[in-house]
Structures are given as structure tokens and as C-alpha cells.
Chain A
Amino acid sequence: MRTSPLASEIELIQTALKGSRQSYDELVKLWSARVYSYVRSRVRHDHIAEEITQDAFVKAYCRLDKLRERDRFGPWLLTIAHRLILDWAQKKERGETNLEPAHAELLRQPSDEDSDDSQLSNLRRSVDELPETLREAIYTYYFEKMTYQDVADILGVSVGTINARLAKARALLRKRMLVHQGELN
């Protein structure tokens, strides 16, 4: 992650592992905004984003002893959140959630806070038109500008694959931006 973990964060993990719930609550406070933002950028639905964020923290707590590199709590937490997002998307495709619109449509729906800026709208449209694997690479990488290694860890692929996906996604985006620009003009 761009933000290097504080020594206190590692200490919090260590004390949480010894059973200190207070320490884990502190970790939740430290990371809730970032996890929520990441999830929210993928699901575009407040209620679902909150649920997934909560579940990510609960799951992380239950598996805290599996975190071998204590200084990588953030990427590890986002990996859990990422998988929960995928699970949610799969469930919705199977009709197992109550949410009406499909996942893909949700991603394409501009949120209320979206900017009206036409260039940004074009970009959002172009990103949403990307294949899922490329889109998730873009969302995950540009979320707090992680390292390729972090993205690879979160998505469970190699660094080379991330490099290739990002390059392909950007090339497609550049082309599509030009097309959408042409449509507007």
C-alpha cells in the first residue's frame, strides 16, 4: 500500500491476536474508511458496501492468526473484501440476494455523487465497459495506488498478469475515450 503500516498497527494486530478486542476495534477504526471506499467503488450501493465491509472485518478477525506478514494487514483485509464482493456478485447472479439490479448494472450506474464532468463521465463509461478482469484490475490498482504486488495478492494472480491487465485496460480506455469523445462531438 502507499501508506506504510504504522508500528502501532502491527502492535495492535499482535495484541488483538492475544485476545484484545479493543485493539481490533482500533484496527477497524483505522481501516473502515478505506475498506468501505474500496467496496463502495465496486458495488455502488451503500447498504451492500456496509454489509460487505462489516463482514470483511469479522472474517479478518476470525483469521487474524493466518496473517503471516503483520505489516500487510491492509492488502490482506482488502483481499478478503474483494472476495466478499465476488461472492456477493455471484450470489446476485444466482438470484440469492434481494437487491434488484444486477451487479454489472450497478457498476454502470453513476452514483448520486458522480461528477457531471463529461470527460469523467466518459471515463466512467469506458471503465464500466471493460471486461470484468480488466475492470477489477483498474479498480483495485487505482484504489489508493497500490503496488502491483498488492493488487496481485488481492486478486490472486501474478504480478505479470496484473501488469498485462493494466496495460491492456489502459490501452482499451484510451481507445474508448477517443470513441466516446467523438460521439459527443
Chain B
Amino acid sequence: MAVNEPDPRGPLRAIGRQLRAVLITAHIFAVFILAFPAPSGGMNRSAWSDPTVQAEFVSWSARLQAMGLESSPESLEETLWSWAQSYMQRRRDLLKPFMPYYRYCGTYQTWRMFIAPHRNPARLHIDIYEDGEWRPVYIARHPQHDWKGELLDHERMRSAIFRYAWKHYGRSYKHFGEWIAAEAAEEFPEATLIRLRYERFRTPTPEQVREENRPPSTFVHPRTFQLETFR
């Protein structure tokens, strides 16, 4: 092409540059609004009644009172609940046009990672009933009681097992228990029952650990299965 001859692709190239900038801007906007802080996944009243969440209300209410703002934990919870509901509704409307982009292109942005330590975590215990007594076969992170440890300690299962300690995952917890029972029925032919339960405890403060005065734990969400039905 001669030096002075206009580039026939010039206008197209200019449009292409503008279009690219528009699309990149749309991408940035789409991922930014989805990543913007929101209580997604936490809009569940039973999850809000968890002791860890309740402790946060108590703590924040005390903070606000120290700043001269009158607020009880209960009123703070109610205010936040109604605010969160309306915020989430507006957020849903805003995100709606971008949903296909998140779904098909893998651009979901849910970065709520360890936003608060779970002060009342739960540890999964699996026991079998054999020779007239209960015997532990799996306790999460226990070096000896590690039946199925390769699976249950895998990060994908940790994620699932963490969820099943919350009430609203009760159905999946039941499915998980049935699968575990079927496996145990084969591997422990003498056992008659299997029990899954979570040991819930308050994480000890540094002082409590140093003084060997850990808070007592309680067992929650027990589920027992007759192994005979799985044989």
C-alpha cells in the first residue's frame, strides 16, 4: 500500500477498538457488581440463629452502644434483616441481565472467604455399634479414627461436611448418612448400627488453651441407621 493511501481497514479498526473497550468495560462492571459485598447465601433465618452469628450481633450492638447509638442485639438483627432483604432484591434486579454471562462464561464472583471465624464449629463423628457398644471409626482430623479419611478429609468433602452441620442442609445430610451406612454395612459385617453426629464446641480462647480449660462440647444432629437395611 502506498504511504499516502488511506488504510481501507481504518474505520473498521476504529470501530473494533471502540467495541472492544465497550465489551471490556461491560465485563469489569459485571464482575464488579457481583463481587460487591452482599449477604448472598446467608439470607436464611435459621443460619442467623446460629450462635456464631448471634455472638456477632451482641458484639456489634455493644460497639454501637459504645459509640452512643442505642441498639440491642435483637433490634440490630431485625434492622439488618429487613435492610438485607431489600438490598438483595435490588441486587438481584441489577444482576439479572448478566446472569447468562456469569453462568456460561464462569465469571461468578463470590469471595466471602472466612469473613468471620466460626466460633461454634462442629466436628463430624461416625460411630458403629458392634458387640454391644459404640465404637468411633471416624472423627474429623483425628489421627487414629480415620475410616474413609482419604474421602472425608478431601477438600471437596470437607466443604460438604462443613455445610451439613447447618440445619438447612438436613436433606443432603440424610443422603450422606445413607451413603456412609451403605459403605459401613459392607466394611463392618458385624456392626448393626451406624451413627453420624456433630460435636459442637466453642473454640477456646488462647487463655483457655494455655490453662487447659477448654469449653465443654455437645453432640448435635445425630442420625442413626440400621445397617441391616443396607446389606
Q: Do A and B bind each other?
A: no
A residues apposed to B, CB below 8 Å = none
